[in-house]
Amino acid sequence: MELTTELQKISYGLGVLMASSVRSQGADTLDIDAVAAAFRDVFENNDLKISLQDANNTVQAYMQAVADKKHAGAKEEGEKFLADNKLKQGVTTTASGLQYRALKLGNGKTPKATSSVTVHYTGKLINGKVFDSSVQRGQPTSFGVSQVIPGWTEALQLMREGDKWILYIPYNLAYGAGGAGGDIPPFATLIFEVELIHVK
């Protein structure tokens, strides 16, 4: 169709934006005729073929399946990385699946779940991409042991002041199926180099 009026341009533009947004989330197998029919029924106040609640449930289930398929590779890649890594010399694997390797051993206090700690750390994905680093900022960070991801909470209670460890954290002890922002994708296995500076 030719866009000969301002209203047609606006309407088409809205369609472009909505379609681009949906497609960018991986939903590229939709029936376009059914989408158009739904728009027409809503705007013309026709009887809907499914209720709004059913529409919401159906779309949520579809988008979850799309997301699971999109990120299945990351989950499998992380599992393979951890399976290989646990065989390396010096790597310890806990019952939860957390892995760690000591780079330097201290002789200070061991934190409890209720402790606060000061640490230096660098976090990266298994492809080596750094997503956060107090070292790069030049400023250590402090927080409660129980206020961070489960992998950190567990690891910190195994460390002593002065320890420097590498943590290998499976997705279920990190940010899970949701990821975190744009830097940590869903199902991401994370690697942290952590130096425990102070326990309070």
Mean pLDDT by 10 residues, the chain (200 residues): 93 92 82 91 94 94 82 89 98 98 97 98 98 97 98 99 99 94 92 98
Catalytic residue positions, numbered: 121, 131-132, 149, 175, 192
Specify whether 41 is located in the same domain as 89.
no
Q: In the prediction, which pLDDT does 148 show?
A: 98
User: In which element (H, E) is residue 120 found?
Assistant: strand 116-125
Predicted TM-score of the model (pTM):
0.72
Q: What is the tens place of the pLDDT at every residue in 44-77?
A: 999 999 999 999 999 999 888 887 777 778 899 9
Domain count, the chain: 2
Q: In the prediction, which pLDDT does 41 show?
A: 93
Q: In the prediction, which pLDDT does 67 show?
A: 76
Specify whether 28 is located in the same domain as 87.
no
Specify whether 159 is located in the same domain as 189.
yes
Specify whether 52 is located in the same domain as 128.
no
Specify whether 155 is located in the same domain as 184.
yes
Domain annotation covers residue 26: yes
Q: In the prediction, which pLDDT does 77 show?
A: 95
Q: Is 199 exposed, middle or buried (0-12, 13-18, 19+ CB in 10 A)?
A: buried
Q: In the prediction, which pLDDT does 89 show?
A: 97
Domain annotation covers residue 116: yes
The domain that holds 169 is classified in CATH as 3.10.50.40
Helices (H), the chain: 6-24, 32-43, 52-85, 134-137, 150-156
